Chain A
Amino acid sequence: MENDAAGAPKPDPADADAARAALESVAASKALVAERMRRGPRWYNPVYGALCGLLILSIGLPKVWFLVGVVVSAIGLGVLAGIYRKRTGIVLGAGNPRPRGIYPWLVAVLGVAGVASYLDGHHGFPLGVPIVAVCAGVACWVLSRRYDAALFALLEEQGDDEGRR
Chain B
Amino acid sequence: MLNSDSILLTLKVASITTVLLLLISTPLAWWVVNLNRKRRVLVEAFLSLPLILPPTVLGFYLLILLNPNGLIASTLKSLGHSGQLTFNFTGLVIGSVIYSLPFTVQPLINSFSKVPRKYLDSARLMGAGKLDQFFSIVLPLSKSGFILGGILSFAHTIGEFGVVMMIGGNIPKVTRVVSIDIFTHVEALEFEKAHQLSFIMLVFSLIILILVYSLSSSRKGERND
Does B associate with A? no
Using a CB–CB cutoff of 8 Å, the interface residues on chain A facing chain B are none
